[in-house]
Chains A and B, each alone.
Chain A
Amino acid sequence: MSTTNKKLHCILAEFENPAVLIKAAEKTNKAGYKKYDAYSPFPIHGMDDAMGLKESKLGWIVLFHALIGFSGGLALQIYTQVIAYPLNISGKPLLNLPNFVPVTFELTILLAAFGTFFGMFFLNNLPKFYNPLFNSERFEKVTDDGFFIGIEAEDGLFSEEKTAKFLEDAGAVYIEKVYED
């Protein structure tokens, strides 16, 4: 089977353990690569810093949704109970903020939860049914005991030989070219 007519997706390098992986990720980041990712069976503490990742924007997405839930909940109740259907309930005032707390609270939480759930999907590019990395048999180890870094061919600094050499120098024990489709 000829591989020349296939498009190169990335160069995948396997590392022995999390400690080597984190060092390699740091080197990759310092070398200036942008389109790369580190893969491991479990979260590795300090990886975000090593890869130079910025803080996730998820918090802001959640806050935004929570504020919509908060103001929406209040607006809904003020409109229905003060303007649209003003009913006297045991002589309490129509605009009754303590009474509005449970619904406002629930809607704040509901929308914040939606924001967290869908925001996480959005930021992780999910749902994604296909990833060229699945073409690599070796990559199946990533759910068990494999620690990988993949540098994508689309990266500005990418060159087939140099990138492979770079990963080898960073301590890779195995290097593979992963093709698309």
Chain B
Amino acid sequence: MHHHHTLTDNLKFPAESRINVAFFAVAILGILLSAIGYIVDTQQFYFSYLTSFSFVASISLACLFFVMLQHVTGSKYSVVMRRIPETFASNIYVLAILFIPILFGMEYLYEWVREEKIAADPLVQHKLPYLNEPFFLIRNIIYFVVWSFLGYRLYQNSVDMDNQGDIAELNRKQKVLSAPGILLFGFTVAFASFDWLMSMDSHWFSTMFGVYFFAMSFQVFFAILILVSLYLRKNDMLSNTIRIPHYNDIGKLLFGFTVFYAYIAFSQFFLIYYANIPEATLWFKYRLDGNWAYMTYIIFAGRFAVPFILLLSKKAKANLKLLGGISVMLVVLHFIEFFWIVQPILQKSELGVHWLDFATLLGLSGLLLGLFFTKFKQADMVPKNDPYIQESLNKH
């Protein structure tokens, strides 16, 4: 019964692998197409860009949260997989650069910056102390400084451990960083979601929107973790390190946070629907009108009903093929849900997909993955000197 596992796998991502270059090529293609799109249809470009930006940002932010959570709780099971979210989170500073185009497109994206809208709308006037360009800029600078710092430090401390730093001291630092980090994360992510997405409809507000954004992101985080791990496994990397018991744990969490997502998303809808206050219900009315309604039902089925039923049994949560399939579906639907949040503002009654949606998605997700694999190559794929590595390896 006592299997003692040791790190027998090669911990270096193969240097000859060109996967990061391949993703960068996809990114360049996407960015070039997006640039053409910007000239052809500037407004559509900004809406598509915000959709894709939210998609990549939410994934990176969920990774940051997961890393901090592991340190705060002193989790052991996840150590062998932790370098994956650490690496994603370390690249958050790039999101700050990717956010700059949105600042230039505010005129298109946010009605509360348009003079004629402000003049004609008392509700928007009332919200001006918060919704104004300088304050928006200051807030976003704060968000990105906080996230970039946390992501970078947590990664750097972890890599320093690999290189035989003072393990106990570095581990203490990780905890000291993560505890206030989680608090800051809660506020910054909630307000970022209000600023980026909720404020597009300047009349609408939902106090749950921050949690909703987080619930979406954290569900899809587990899907991303599973997919990256499966990619490594398929290429004979870390097969004896990230084993079935680890997938089983992540599968359970994926299931749990699928329910959490549904609970939050439905609660947000339900309270607004039940209370029936016009400026709150309108947001959902657009999304239940015309063919937008189909997308609403697809999101409900794909992000909750189908994965819930498929993952219900104990065996399913350790079935790699099933976990992989569900993860792909969830990642696709995560993008679709951002599309569903952002684009009805532009095309209120008829759902239409523009090629720019795909161009910006290719550009930004190609960049996200290209940067991820570039960094993943540079350090060991497992925090090999983490104080809990042995417990994590022995997981059964």
Contact = CB atoms under 8 A, between A and B. Distances in A.
B106 to A, nearest CB: 35
A64 B386 CA distance: 44
A98 B1 contact: no
A45 interface: yes
Nearest to B1: A46
B396 A45 contact: yes
B311 to A, nearest CB: 13
Interface in A55-75: 55, 59, 63
Contacts of B274: 99
Contacts of A55: 314
B313 A44 contact: no
Interface in B257-311: 266, 269-270, 273-274, 276
A101 B2 CA distance: 47
Contacts of A90: 276
Interface of B is mostly: loop
Contacts of B2: 19
A98 B314 contact: no
Contacts of A119: none
A45 B270 contact: no
A101 B270 contact: yes
B266 A22 contact: no
B266 A101 contact: yes
Interface residues of A, number: 14
Contact of A44 (B1, B269, B270, B273): B1
A150 interface: no
Contact of B313 (A19, A45, A59): A59
Nearest to B275: A90
A151 B269 CA distance: 58
A22 B1 CA distance: 8
A29 to B, nearest CB: 15
Contacts of B396: 45-46
A18 interface: yes
Contacts of A19: 1-2
Contacts of A22: 1
Given A18-B1, A99-B274, 19 more contacts: A19-B1, A19-B2, A22-B1, A44-B1, A45-B1, A45-B396, A46-B1, A46-B396, A55-B314, A59-B313, A59-B314, A63-B312, A90-B276, A98-B269, A98-B270, A98-B273, A101-B266, A101-B270, A102-B270
Interface of A: 18-19, 22, 44-46, 55, 59, 63, 90, 98-99, 101-102
Interface of B: 1-2, 266, 269-270, 273-274, 276, 312-314, 396
